[in-house]
């Protein structure tokens, strides 16, 4: 089975989608009978690693290091030339249409992964009518795919409510060997100049509007000196206040795991998570997670592994953080780790996905057989 992934969501500072694609590529490299190719934008057209191809012809560099290709026909030809059995598309933009065309050229089955909630994102920025237009666009696009993957029950239901069919919930996962409680390093507190009794929280991710970083800053301003927050993913600069430290984006998973595991809690104020990969990575490191009742976070977090607060409320978020620290955080962390091992290891996630790919290919085989039989019945008249 040859699987090809194509996505715009692949840049130097990309978050969960890039980690998913690289984890998938690494995992499938060790599977017998499976080949994986990854086609993503880059500065040049090259095979940067075995099976990872960048195309750099005529693209526009955008915020966050993302690149938007201007010649999708070339992507269509490049993708079809790989001769994949399954094409998975990681974004709903113009490369998705190029992938559908490439699938027709090479006879591949098509899978879309709805990593983002496009209608809600568009509506929040441009108004309700724009959101409805985006909803109609997704219906038109996804109706052409053989299967739609949603990373959470929330997104699956939103897609169904929009009239989109053939949807399955396909969670993301985490490398449980990299993100592990053993990565905890007491020296981090020394590096930050923190006392041993300071309650240390962390958040890592793009400093985008939907992450609601300002709410985190207001919350920790209220909590005061007994708490400290590390924000990983911003520009390198001095601490924003006496109890907040900003660190740059961390591309190395081992270094990121060390930062996360060395904190006491992960705090996530974002309201538009379609899955919440950073929360699962923190749980794998044995941390309780504090989040808000919005997006897909409630599917990951309950009172046994953390706490939830009302979205947009600094007082409520601070109270949830205090509630976790007043509990047995070590026991919460152990339960969080166990939950990840059972549900969200990359091995179990990709086994589920490969099984779905195999079912799709059997569907294609059955369709080919049925078409051949139909053609044969037309070409060979029955005897009287």
177: number of Cβ within 10 Å: 11
CA 284 to chain centroid: 16
pLDDT of residue 364: 75
Assigned CATH class of 2-173+345-376:
alpha beta
pLDDT less than 70: residues of the chain = 12-14, 57-65, 235-239, 365-384
pLDDT in tens, 330-371: 999 999 999 999 999 999 999 999 999 999 999 876 554 455
- Sequence ranges of the chain with CATH classification 3.40.50.2000: 2-173+345-376, 181-336
DSSP bridge pairs for 5: 38, 88
CATH 3.40.50.2000 fits 181-336, yes or no: yes
pLDDT of residue 345: 95
Do 142 and 122 form a contact (C-beta atoms < 8 A)?
no
Residues 53 and 69: their CA atoms lie apart, in Å, by: 14
Residues 145 and 91: their CA atoms lie apart, in Å, by: 13
252: number of Cβ within 10 Å: 9
Ramachandran bin of 369, using left for φ above 0, alpha for ψ from -120 to 50, beta for the remaining angles: alpha
pLDDT of residue 344: 96
Do 18 and 99 form a contact (C-beta atoms < 8 A)?
no
- pTM of the model as a whole: 0.87
pLDDT in tens, 126-179: 999 999 999 999 999 999 999 999 999 999 999 999 999 999 999 999 999 999
pLDDT of residue 61: 66
């Amino acid at each position: 089975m040859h699987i090809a992934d194509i996505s715009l969501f692949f840049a130097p500072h990309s978050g969960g989608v890039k980690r998913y694609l690289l984890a998938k590529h690494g995992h499938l490299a060790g599977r017998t009978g499976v080949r994986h190719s990854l086609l993503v934008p880059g500065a040049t057209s090259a095979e940067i690693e075995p099976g990872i191809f960048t195309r750099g012809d005529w693209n526009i560099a955008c915020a966050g290091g993302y690149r938007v290709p201007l010649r999708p026909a070339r992507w269509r030809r490049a993708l079809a030339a790989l001769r994949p059995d399954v094409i998975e598309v990681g974004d709903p933009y113009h490369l998705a249409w190029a992938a559908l065309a490439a699938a027709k050229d090479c006879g591949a089955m098509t899978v879309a992964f709805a990593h983002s909630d496009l209608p809600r994102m568009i509506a929040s920025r441009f108004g309700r009518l724009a959101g409805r237009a985006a909803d109609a666009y997704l219906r038109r696009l996804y109706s052409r795919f053989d299967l739609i993957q949603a990373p959470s029950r929330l997104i699956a239901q939103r897609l169904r409510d929009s009239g989109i069919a053939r949807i399955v919930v396909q969670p993301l996962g985490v490398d449980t060997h990299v993100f592990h409680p053993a990565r905890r390093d007491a020296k981090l507190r020394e590096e930050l100049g923190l006392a041993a009794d300071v309650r240390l929280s962390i958040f890592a991710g793009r400093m985008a509007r939907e992450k609601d970083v300002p709410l985190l800053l207001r919350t920790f301003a209220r909590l005061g000196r007994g708490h400290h927050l590390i924000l990983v993913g911003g520009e390198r600069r001095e601490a924003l206040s006496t109890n907040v430290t900003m660190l740059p984006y961390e591309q190395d998973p081992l270094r990121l795991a060390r930062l996360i595991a060395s904190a006491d809690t992960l705090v996530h104020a974002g309201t538009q998570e379609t899955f919440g990969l950073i929360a699962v990575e923190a749980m794998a490191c044995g941390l309780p997670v504090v989040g808000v009742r919005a997006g897909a976070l409630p599917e990951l977090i309950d009172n046994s592994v953390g706490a939830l607060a009302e979205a947009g409320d600094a007082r409520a978020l601070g109270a949830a953080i205090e509630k976790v620290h007043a509990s047995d955080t070590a026991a919460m962390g152990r339960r969080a780790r166990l939950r990840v091992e059972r549900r969200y290891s990359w091995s179990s996630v990709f086994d589920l996905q490969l099984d779905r790919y195999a079912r799709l290919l059997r569907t294609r085989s059955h369709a080919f057989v049925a078409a051949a039989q139909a053609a044969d019945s037309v070409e060979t008249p029955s005897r009287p």
